[in-house]
Amino acid sequence: MATASVAFKSREDHRKQIELEEARKAGLAPAEVDEDGKEINPHIPQYMSSAPWYLNAERPSLKHQRKWKSDPNYTKSWYDRGAKIFQASKYRKGACENCGAMTHAAKACMERPRKVGAKHTNKHIAADEKVETFELDYDGKRDRWNGYDASTYARVIERYEARDDARKKYLKEQQLEKLEKGDQNDEGAAIDEAEDEDDLRVDEAKVDESKQMDFAKVEKRVRTTGGGSTGTVRNLRIREDTAKYLLNLDVNSAHYDPKTRSMREDPLPEADPNEKFYLGDNQYRNSGQALEFKDLNIHAWEAFDKGQDVHMQAAPSQAELLYKNFKVMKDKLKSQTKETIIEKYGNAADDDKLPRELLLGQSERQVEYDRAGRIIKGQEAAIPRSKYEEDVYINNHTTVWGSWWKDHQWGFKCCKQTIRNSYCTGTAGIEAAEAANDLMRANIARKEAAAEDPTPVEEKRPATWGSDVPEDLVLDEKLLADALKKEDQRKREEKDERKRKYNVKWNDEVTQEDMEAYRMKKVHHDDPMSKFMN
């Protein structure tokens, strides 16, 4: 972990070191111990745990992260204000020319400048001040209460007590003046006295209430970055509240992340919901205004991707206004779409009820027939027809598509064709298809017979590629193979010019084998297998 040795490690040692660190982080292996016997946190980053090379650390340690240099000269004492060390009776050489003290010069004298200095009068010589110098540490230099005398606060208390005594004395004097007036009766005097006492109690109650409110406020003072002024920010957590990780001390309960102070699951899932005040962070993230804020962010992202100049953090009011307009337009478009569909197809929910004869399949209509089935009286019931066209045949067919099935293919029954837009050939097409099948079976049987009884192959064979080749043309197999190789070489050179050779000598004579090789290698775009050719 925190070793500073830079010795070379093999790949296997490095892998074992990484596995050991992972096991320590997972709690499967004991933590590493420093020179003082303290465990080192395995989650400390390596750049913090690794000691610099110039410290020559021989074992794991976090000493370089602590203040391991201590200076005994540091002190936390403060100046003795107003202390005097010596009172001279006459002026001394080198003393202040104004007051006569030896501890400072006339330029730094803090007394009122005299008309004639002590150097010339040799009177009223000031005492020498106590001059001290301290070597303060980092905390001592920044301690704002260093040297503060708590006894000086007694003056503040005395001032407030004197003000309260003067106020009480004034109230008593007012009461005596009212009692001494001869034109007021005893009842009025008693009422005034009671009112004064009530006013005094109200004032004292207000003071006590203000003190309690100041004590109950959960606030903290923060210093702004402006002109050094301070402001009050209400704390988000009351210190009397129970922390999340103390709600359930079971190891298998909800996981608490100390770094982010988050607990996603409910720590007390089996408790009464009316008695719980915390249900987990996920409960708050998936309820209330959190979902609305999430939708607002998603809308801002999507709008920015589509070219609108909107940003949730830079202009939140603009993003919220655009989102509100978007929802209004979306609802309006949805209602317009619904009205268009209802106008075109109707709304079965708003229609009147179906007639009774349609619901029950009965009617009061009477129809009379004769012995031959002809209608004598009444009207024949209309046969329900489909909205699709019926008995419509295309391309001279007498049956519809899908009336015939063979070899996993649909077709027409009248001509047994599996091509949808083909023209009907009738029985002639059926006979031609059967003849083609017979010929194919005969060819297959001939090929199988030839494979069973092979005949010696001649060196020359007839040409098979190309429609304009005469049937009696016979090619040389060896020359044809060479021509095929030359054709492949030519195609490679066409694809990559870097393979083309210099000083090429062309031969204008083209043989039958070259033409046959060109026809064989030519790409036929109508061929469905042309894409699979090299």
Q: Which residue has the higher pLDDT, 524 or 47?
A: 47
Structural domain boundaries in the chain: 11-65, 151-231, 241-326, 404-451, 474-500+507-534
Q: How far apart are CA 24 and CA 41, in angstroms?
A: 9
Strands in 178-330 per DSSP E = 219-223, 230-234
Q: What is the pLDDT of residue 105?
A: 94
Quote the CA–CA distance of 4 and 57 in Å, as a whole number: 5
- Looking at the predicted structure, is the pLDDT value of residue 387 above 60? yes
3-state SS record for 328-380: HHHHHHHHHHHHHHHHHHCCCCCCCCCCHHHHHCCCCCCCEECCCCCEEECCC
Distance CA 99, CA 114 (A): 8
User: What tokens were used for 108?
Assistant: 């730094």
Contacts of 240 (CB under 8 A, 6+ apart): none
- Taking the alpha carbons of 107, 110, 114, 117 in that order, is the dihedral positive or negative? negative
**Side chain identity, residue 526:** D
pLDDT of 4: 44
Tokens at 260, concatenated: 């982010």
In this structure, of 60-74, 169-183, 200-214, the range with the lowest mean pLDDT score is 200-214
Residue type, 426: G
Confidence of residue 448 (pLDDT cuts 50, 70, 90): confident
Contact 112, 96 (CB under 8 A): no
Above 80 in pLDDT, residue 525?
no
Q: Which of 92, 159, 102, 152 is nearest to 127 (CA)?
A: 102
- If you average pLDDT over every residue of the chain, what do you get? 80
Q: Do the beta carbons of residue 88 and residue 100 sit within 8 Å?
A: yes
- Report the alpha-carbon distance of residue 193 to residue 183 in Å, rounded: 16
The 10s digit of each residue's pLDDT in 491-500 is: 888 777 776 6
CA distance 386 to 375: 25
The rounded distance, in Å, linking the Cα atoms of 302 and 294 is 12
Cα(312)–Cα(318) distance, rounded to whole angstroms?
A: 8
> Is the distance from CB of 375 to CB of 369 less than 8 angstroms?
yes
- Pairwise CA distance, residues 520 & 484, whole Å: 8
Given a cut of 90, whether residue 87 has pLDDT beyond it is: yes
What's the rounded Cα separation, in Å, for the pair 523 and 534?
10
CB-based contacts of 519, cutoff 8 Å, min separation 6? 465, 466, 469
pLDDT at 502: 67
Q: Confidence class of residue 147 from pLDDT cuts 50, 70 and 90?
A: confident
Does residue 130 carry a pLDDT above 50?
Answer: yes
Beta bridge partners of 217: none
**pLDDT in the model for residue 426:** 87
Residue in 139, 68, 131 with CA at minimum distance from that of residue 105: 131
What percent of the chain stands above pLDDT 70? 77
pLDDT grade for 374, boundaries at 50, 70 and 90: confident
**pLDDT per residue as tens digits for the range 226-235:** 444 455 554 4
- Do the Cβ atoms of 449 and 464 come closer than 8 Å? no
- pLDDT higher than 60, residue 212: no
Contact 477, 461 (CB under 8 A): yes
Helix, strand, coil % in the chain, rounded to nearest 5: 40, 5, 50
Residues 6+ apart with CB under 8 A from 380: 367
User: Cα angle vertex 378, ends 374, 379, to 5°?
Assistant: 80
Contact 16, 44 (CB under 8 A): no
pLDDT in the model for residue 181: 78
- For 126-244, strand residue ranges (E) read 128-129, 219-223, 230-234
Q: Give the C-alpha separation, 99 to 196, whole Å.
A: 58
Task: Please tell me whether residue 10 adopts helix, strand or coil conformation.
Answer: coil
Lowest mean pLDDT among 110-119, 508-517, 519-528: 519-528
Q: Which pLDDT tens digit goes with each residue over 262-283?
A: 888 899 988 888 888 888 888 8
Where does residue 404 rank: exposed (0-12), middle (13-18), buried (19+ CB within 10 A)?
Answer: middle
Across 394-408, average pLDDT = 87
